[in-house]
Amino acid sequence: MTKFKYRLHNLDCASCANKIEEHLSKLPNLHNVCVNYSKLTLTFSSEEKDLKKYVTSKIQEVEPDVTLLELDEEKNDEVIFDIIKLIIGLLITLIAYLNHDSVLGHIFYLIAYVIFLFEIFIKALKLLFKSFTIDENLLITISCIGAYFTHNTLEGLMVVILYDIGEILEHLAVNKSRKEIASLMDIKPEYANLKVKDEITKVDPSTVKVGDTIVVKKGEKIPLDGVVIEGSTSLNTVALTGEVKPLEVSKGSNVLSGTINIGDVITLKVTNLYEDSTVSRILDLVENATNRKAHTENFVAKAAKIYTPIVIVLAILVAITFPIFFDISQSDAIYRALSFLVISCPCAIAISVPLSYFTGLGAASHEGILIKGSDYLDSFKNINKIVFDKTGTLTTGKFDSYNLIILDDTYSKEEIINYYVNGESLSTHPLANSILHNFNVKPHNKDIKNFKEIAGKGLTYEINKQKVSIGSSSFIKAATKDNSIYLKVDQDIIAKLELTDTIKKEAKETISYLNKMNITPYMYTGDTKDTALSIASSLGINEVEYELLPENKYKLLEKLIKENKNGKVAFIGDGINDAPSLALSDIGIGMGNIGSAAAIEASDIVLINDDISKLITTHQISKKTHRIIKENLIFALLTKVIVLILAALGISSMWHAVFADTGVTLITIINTTRILKRK
């Protein structure tokens, strides 16, 4: 099964996008069809090849003017032609108006009608005869011609003029929104400076291999993830994490692709291929995020299809029944019915919802929050319980301070440290790096024999005919059970090491916000009871489970989800052992910086810089997006209903009907852009 992706050219209507998606979804050889109006893209999967011509023909059965383009294919924007046509049409209309009592004026009115209606009329006919579908083009055509024959010549002309102006402004407004969001995520590097011996060559980042050396100059984007091997500088990480404060890096620092070097030249050793790099993963997640549609989006798409036929039927009933039951002429009844047809276009409803989600996802991306679908953005506001892993999530996971307690005075501190360092230098356990960092002593492990590591418990090795064991109290069989890392030489326990994991500075603020929002925070950890309760108490977390294995976390989470009837349960973690829980939860939130690849893959939301205060931002964006969608839908529907009633009563004119269509669409688009504005 191959995945295809194309750009849609000449797609200028959200309801038209829904029609294309629905039509293509019925084809047996196309799977997972998704039309993204916000990005003007079509994606689908198929076992067949060379489908571009075939799919284009199928699209044109419902939208005759829409064509498929390759993603990098450019085509002139026809909005310039539309503006020129509008100006010429307006000038001819002005001449007609100034001579409205003469034959010349009538001729110019007819010419203006042809200029404005010809393209719309042709589109309507193509669609009507190809797929027996009525769309807004036919509705506008009928309304304008009907106005002409009911002696409302200028008014009918103004309907199509205002409709054209609205279409142009809508096109410009949507494009502006697309460009604003695209600029937020302008992080794709164009090249990498590959260093081979003393030569530096500009190459495509996708050709660079792990272990290669690259040079990043001032003002350049870092093209691939790597570690600094020479130099020090400041990095602008705004596009990646939303953080305004520059990040200081030096030799040994890990740096992420997509950030910008704003200081001195640095040399990096590449640690990830381009397709596995941070910038590539982000772009891929953002690219595909809006393909997962929220329930509201799907509901509105279905409702828009029902709404238009209902209003058309009402228009016919008005034209037929009003002269019978009310004291109005047939001409007046037809005029009112024509106003109904103009109002019936569902664009404001159809465009506001997907554009709002698209904008919300873009705003989140700018803050360093990758949300893998509109449905997750929509659901986040409904979270009422959130489960935190402890180490690396609520705490830094760096264990950058320690307390060494010597239990046998026959050994010096230096000897004890060497025992720890020699063993941990061969360990793969996450704490090993913390121990080595804390002691900062060069290991001498050449004489080590029979090294063995028991996952999650400890390690053993032999040196100078001594058997050394390092690990938990149960592994060492110490009398006291605590969270220390014990050292045993032969049969004697000679020391224990207490590592201190510090709470993240943003953790307290985040938990406080969640409690304030009536979102209950839980902490599930494998740590000891005393440590877990101490950290939970200092943060304000009342629901704590400790000394858990990964399978215990999973079972507790499963139970919590089953018992939670009135909201969503989220889980946030960073390690590979958290992947099952992340996948199980209603919304899985992973760490993008220190998080494992498995955890990120299993997550629905990824926090790029591991800043859990971004949960606050995500919740606020989710609520704001939902609020603006509600505002848009209520405003659009209320306006249309009011104008429909006024039209039926003969109070409103076609001018009001045009406002209820294109005017409302423009206002909802402008309102949607408020999502991008953060306090």
Whether residue 386 is predicted with pLDDT greater than 90 in this model: the reply is yes
> What's the pLDDT score for residue 581?
85
Q: pLDDT for 74-95, tens place per residue? A: 655 567 888 888 899 999 999 9
Assess whether pLDDT exceeds 80 at residue 334: yes
- 270 - beta bridge partners? 226
> pLDDT over 90 for what percent of the chain?
26
pLDDT at 14: 62
Q: Work out the mean pLDDT of the chain and round it to a whole number.
A: 83
pLDDT at 488: 94
| Single-letter residue type at 673 | T
> pLDDT tens across 391-427, in order?
888 988 777 778 999 999 999 999 999 999 999 998 8
Highest mean pLDDT of the ranges 37-41, 144-148, 479-483:
144-148
Q: State the pLDDT confidence band at 477, using cuts at 50, 70 and 90.
A: confident
Contacts with 474 (C-beta within 8 Å, 6 or more apart), sequence order: 457, 481
Is pLDDT at 677 greater than 60 in this prediction? yes
Domains of the chain: residue spans and CATH: 2-69 (3.30.70.100), 79-182+290-357+624-676 (no CATH), 192-288 (2.70.150.10), 374-396+504-603 (3.40.50.1000), 401-500 (3.40.1110.10)
How far apart are the C-alpha atoms of 193 and 215, rounded to whole Å? 5
Q: Which residues are known catalytic residues? A: 389
Q: Which residues pair with 31 in a beta bridge?
A: 45
The answer on pLDDT for 267 being more than 80 is: yes
Tokens at 204, concatenated: 């495509």
Q: Report the C-alpha gap between 224 and 278 in whole angstroms.
A: 8
Closest CA to 216 of 228, 204, 199: 228
Least confident of 239-243, 356-360, 397-401, 647-651: 239-243
Among 18-27, 170-179, 291-300, 652-661, name the most confident range.
18-27
User: Is pLDDT above 70 for 304?
Assistant: no
In DSSP terms, 371 is beta-bridged to 605
Assign 609 a pLDDT band (cuts: 50, 70, 90): confident
pLDDT (0 to 100) of residue 285: 57
pLDDT band at 437 (very low <50, low <70, confident <90, very high): confident
pLDDT (0 to 100) of residue 594: 55
Say if strands 568-573 and 587-591 run parallel, antiparallel, or are unpaired.
parallel
Following DSSP, what letter does each residue of 233-287 receive, concatenated?
EEEE-HHHH---SPEEE-TT-EE-TT-EE-SS-EEEEE-S-GGGSHHHHHHHHHH
Query: What pLDDT shows up at residue 133?
Result: 66
What pLDDT is attached to residue 486?
94
Say if residue 348's pLDDT is above 80: no
Mean pLDDT of 206-214: 92
Q: Which of 178-182, 298-302, 512-516, 583-587 has the highest mean pLDDT?
A: 512-516
Distance between CA atoms of residues 9 and 527, nearest Å: 56
The span from the CA of 143 to the CA of 180, in Å, is 36
Indicate the pairing of strand 254-255 with strand 449-454.
unpaired
- Decide if pLDDT at 534 tops 70: yes
**pLDDT tens figures, 94-149:** 999 888 888 898 899 999 999 998 988 888 787 777 766 666 777 778 878 888 88
**150-184 in b/e burial notation, b at 16+ Cβ within 10 A?**
bebbbbbbbbbbbbbbbbbbbeebbeebbeebeeb
**What's the gap between Cα 26 and its chain centre?**
28
Token pair 């849609």 is at which residue? 8
Q: Cα 601 vs. chain centroid, distance in angstroms?
A: 15
| Range name among 151-160, 332-341, 344-353 with the lowest pLDDT average | 344-353
192-196/213-216 β-pairing: antiparallel
pTM: 0.67
Instruction: Please give the DSSP secondary-structure letter assigned to residue 48.
Output: S
The CA distance from 309 to 671, in Å, is 27
- Considering only residues 249 and 187, tell me which one the structure prediction assigns the higher pLDDT: 249
